[in-house]
C-alpha cells in the first residue's frame, strides 16, 4: 500500500464518518468510498462497517489502522529529522489545545508563528483537557496545552493564570444571585473547572442555583450571558476589555483572594528538540513577556 492510502485510513479512523473524512482529504465521498473498497479488497478483509450513524472498525480494521498509524508516524518522524538537517524551520507543528485557549489565546501566538516561519505547517486539534492528554500519551502531537493542573510526567511549563468572574448584564454584586430568577448558564467541561465552581458555590451560598441552563461550549455560554439570557461564571482569558455593557464580578475565596485557573504547556523532551516545536515555544515565551509588561 502507498503511504497516501495509509494516511486516508488514519483520517477515516479519526473521523469515523465518510463526509467529514472526505472534507479533510479534499475528495468527494464517492471517490473516498471507492478507494476504501479497493483497499479492503487488497487486504481481503472488511475494515469498516458502514451505517447511517457512521463507521465502525472491524477487528481486522483495528489491526490495519494500528499498522497505518505506525507507518504514518514513522514517516513523519523521518521527514522531520531530515528537515532538521537543513537548518530552517520546516515540518509540521502538531498541537492539541484546550478549546478555551484555542479560541482566545492561541490565535495571536500562531499569527506570529506563521508569519515568522512560513515553511512550517500546523496541525491543530482542540478539545477537553482529558482528550489533550490522551493525544499526548498516544504520541499524536508534539505539544499539549491544558487547563487545570493534572499530573504530567514529561516537560511542563506554566503559560498563564486567569481569574474567574461572574458575568451578567444585570447582576452587579455576587450576593444578588440568591434573589434573582435569572438562570445560571453553565458549560460542559471534563476538567476540574466544573467541580471547582460547584465547591465554591456551596461554600459561599450553602445552596444550589434556582435555575440552570447547560450548554456544550464555553463560547455559547459567553454569548448567552452577553445577550442577557442569564449569568455565567467565566475565566478572564475569555473576556475582553471592550465588553463594557456587562458586569464582571470577581469570585473570591474565604480569604478574599480571587479564584484562579492555570494553563500549562506540556510535552516530551524528544519533541521539544524539534526546530518547529522549539520555535513555537520561543514565540510563546515572547508573548508571555509582552503580557507581563502590560
Q: What is the CATH number of the domain that holds 255?
A: 3.40.190.290
Q: What is the pLDDT of residue 280?
A: 95
Please name the residues in contact with 61: beta carbons below 8 A apart, sequence gap of 6 or more: 13, 45, 46, 47, 48
Higher-scoring residue by pLDDT: 29, 85 = 29
- Cβ contacts of residue 242 below 8 Å, gap of 6+? none
CA distances from residue 98 to 45, 106, 129 in whole angstroms, order as listed: 37, 10, 6
Say how many domains are in the chain.
Answer: 2
- DSSP state, 252? B
Of the three residues 86, 117, 137, the one that is the final residue of a domain is 86
Helix H, strand E, coil C: the string for 97-126 is EEHHHHHHCHHHHHHHHHHHCCCCEEEEEE
Position 97 in a domain: no
Looking at the domain assignment, is residue 110 inside a domain? no
Give the distance between the most distant pair of CA atoms in the chain: 68
CATH at 4: 1.10.10.10
Q: What string of DSSP letters covers 118-161?
A: TT-EEEEEEE-HHHHHHHHHTT--SEEEEES----SSEEEEEEE
In this predicted model, what pLDDT tens digit does every residue of 235-262 receive, in sequence order?
999 988 766 778 999 999 888 899 998 9
Residue 29 in grid coordinates = 465521498
Residue at 39 is within a domain: yes
**Residue 21 belongs to some domain of the structure:** yes
Q: How many degrees, rounded to 5, is the angle at CA 40 between CA 38 and CA 44? A: 120
Q: What is the pLDDT of residues 132-176, one digit of tens each?
A: 888 888 888 999 999 888 788 889 999 999 899 999 999 999 989
Please say which residue of 33, 67, 86 terminates a domain: 86
Handedness of CA 187, 193, 194, 197 (dihedral sign): negative
Residue 94 lies in a domain: no
Say if CB 163 and CB 234 are below 8 A apart.
Answer: no
pLDDT bin (cut points 50, 70, 90) of residue 85 is low
The predicted pLDDT at position 294 comes to 44
pLDDT band with cut points at 50, 70 and 90 for residue 191: low
Q: Is residue 266 part of a domain?
A: no
Q: Per-residue pLDDT for 87 more than 70?
A: no
Report the percent of the chain where pLDDT is more than 70: 95
Residues 6+ apart with CB under 8 A from 156: 264, 265, 266
Q: State the average pLDDT for the chain.
A: 88
What is the domain extent for residue 201? 161-261
How big is the CA angle at 128 (ends 169 and 78), to the nearest 5 degrees? Answer: 140
Would the pLDDT of 17 be above 90?
yes
Boundary residue ending a domain (41, 66, 86): 86
**Residue 84: pLDDT above 70?**
no
Query: For 56, what's the count of Cα atoms within 13 Å in the CB-facing half-sphere?
Result: 7
pLDDT of residue 190: 66
- Do residues 213 and 230 make contact, with C-beta atoms less than 8 angstroms apart? yes
Give a yes or no: residue 56 inside a domain: yes
- Tell me, yes or no, whether 18 lies in a domain: yes
Amino acid at each position: 500500500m502507498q503511504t497516501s492510502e495509509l494516511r486516508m485510513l488514519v483520517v477515516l479512523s479519526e473521523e469515523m464518518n465518510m463526509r467529514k473524512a472526505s472534507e479533510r482529504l479534499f475528495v468527494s465521498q464517492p471517490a473516498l468510498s471507492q478507494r476504501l473498497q479497493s483497499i479492503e479488497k487488497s487486504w481481503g478483509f472488511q475494515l469498516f462497517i458502514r451505517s447511517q450513524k457512521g463507521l465502525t472498525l472491524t477487528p481486522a480494521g483495528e489491526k490495519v489502522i494500528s499498522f497505518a498509524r505506525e507507518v504514518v508516524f514513522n514517516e513523519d518522524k523521518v521527514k522531520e529529522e531530515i528537515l532538521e538537517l537543513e537548518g530552517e524551520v520546516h515540518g509540521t507543528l502538531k498541537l492539541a489545545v484546550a478549546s478555551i485557549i484555542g479560541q482566545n489565546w492561541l490565535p495571536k501566538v500562531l499569527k506570529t508563528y506563521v508569519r515568522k516561519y512560513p515553511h512550517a505547517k500546523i496541525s491543530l486539534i482542540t478539545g477537553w483537557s482529558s482528550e489533550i492528554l490522551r493525544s499526548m500519551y498516544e504520541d499524536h502531537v508534539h505539544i499539549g496545552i491544558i487547563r487545570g493542573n493534572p499530573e504530567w510526567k514529561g516537560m511542563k511549563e506554566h503559560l498563564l493564570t486567569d481569574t474567574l468572574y461572574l458575568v451578567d448584564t444585570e447582576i452587579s454584586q455576587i450576593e444578588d444571585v440568591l434573589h434573582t430568577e435569572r438562570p445560571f448558564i453553565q458549560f460542559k467541561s471534563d476538567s476540574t473547572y466544573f467541580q471547582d465552581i460547584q465547591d465554591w458555590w456551596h461554600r459561599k451560598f450553602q445552596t444550589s442555583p434556582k435555575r440552570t441552563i447547560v450548554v456544550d461550549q464555553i463560547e455559547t455560554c459567553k454569548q448567552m450571558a452577553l445577550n442577557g439570557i442569564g449569568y455565567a461564571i467565566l475565566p478572564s482569558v475569555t473576556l475582553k476589555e471592550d465588553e463594557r455593557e456587562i458586569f464582571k464580578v470577581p469570585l473570591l475565596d474565604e480569604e478574599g483572594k480571587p479564584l484562579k485557573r492555570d494553563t500549562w504547556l506540556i510535552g516530551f523532551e524528544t519533541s521539544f528538540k524539534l526546530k518547529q516545536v522549539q520555535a513555537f515555544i520561543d514565540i510563546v515565551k515572547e508573548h508571555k513577556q509582552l503580557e507581563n509588561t502590560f
